[in-house]
């Protein structure tokens, strides 16, 4: 039972480079989310997908794009990385967008130099 | 917008009780959650409470909710070294996404 799988676990980028963070869940969940975690700031929602085929902006979407490739997979893309995007990124999923706790992946630690 | 606040650090001795506090601003919060994050890992749902409840107990964990003061607490009885982690309070209103607090880092001293 893998749950939510994120790749890569660690990444170092130079300013201006692009990359895609991958997330896949095997629990047949409808909703998926991308968060970033910064010290003392908790988790901030970047983008979410309430169901396959839909995506919406969260609290801090600037500089990011997402793709809900299918029900299992939800990717996060940084087109031109900036040092301010240095963070730990978490993907999460839930059965629906209502009233359920999330299942989180183990995170991707991204450093932009 | 909605806000969730927690103190950032708490230290307790092994075997003592830990109490982690949280305050929130959204009076329409439907569900309130506690998550645990161990080093290098994602967040793990510990417990949750519906807004129409005052208390929920689950083994060593007791959640208390004071809706009037918008105050939520998590009590861990007989705290062990394995309880050392960051604990996040989160609230959710119907139809809305989660709002997380900044997390409380619990250190358990031997």
Given a cut of 80, whether residue A97 has pLDDT beyond it is no
pLDDT of residue A1: 62
The dihedral region occupied by A99, where left means phi > 0, alpha psi between -120 and 50, and beta the remainder, is left
Say which residues have a Cβ less than 8 Å from residue A33's Cβ, sequence separation at least 6.
A45, A47, A48, A49, A58, A74, A91, A92, A93, A94, A102, B97
- pLDDT category at A99 given cuts 50, 70, 90 is low
Give the whole-number percent of chain B exceeding pLDDT 70. 99
- All residues of chain A having their beta carbon less than 8 Å from the beta carbon of residue B94 are 98-99
C-beta atoms of B42 and A105 within 8 A:
yes
C-beta atoms of B42 and A106 within 8 A:
yes
Q: Out of A43, A99, A106, name the one closest to residue B41 (CB).
A: A106
Give the whole-number percent of chain A exceeding pLDDT 90. 82
> Which residue, among B34, B43, B87, would best test binding to A if mutated, counting the most A CBs under 10 Å from its CB?
B43
C-beta atoms of B88 and A102 within 8 A:
no
- pLDDT category at B14 given cuts 50, 70, 90 is very high
């Amino acid at each position: 039972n893998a749950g939510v799988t994120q790749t890569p676990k660690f990444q170092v980028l130079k300013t201006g480079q692009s990359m895609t963070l991958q997330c896949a869940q095997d629990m047949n969940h409808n909703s998926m989310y991308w968060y970033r975690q910064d010290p003392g700031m908790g988790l901030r929602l970047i983008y979410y997908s309430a169901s396959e085929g839909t995506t919406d902006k969260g609290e801090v979407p600037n500089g990011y794009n997402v793709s809900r490739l299918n029900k299992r997979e939800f990717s996060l893309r940084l087109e031109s990385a900036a040092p301010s995007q240095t963070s730990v990124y978490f993907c999460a999923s839930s059965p629906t967008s209502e009233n359920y706790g999330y299942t989180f992946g183990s995170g991707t630690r991204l450093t932009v130099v | 917008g909605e806000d969730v606040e927690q103190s950032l650090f708490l230290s307790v001795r092994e075997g003592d009780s830990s109490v982690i506090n949280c305050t929130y601003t959204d009076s329409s919060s439907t569900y309130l959650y506690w998550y645990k994050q161990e080093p290098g890992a994602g967040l793990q749902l510990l417990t949750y409470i519906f807004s129409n409840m005052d208390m929920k107990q689950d083994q060593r964990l007791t959640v208390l909710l004071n809706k009037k003061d918008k105050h939520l607490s998590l009590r861990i009885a007989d705290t062990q070294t394995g309880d050392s982690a960051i604990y996040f309070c989160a609230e959710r209103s119907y139809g809305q996404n989660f709002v997380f607090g900044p997390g409380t880092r619990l250190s358990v001293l031997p």
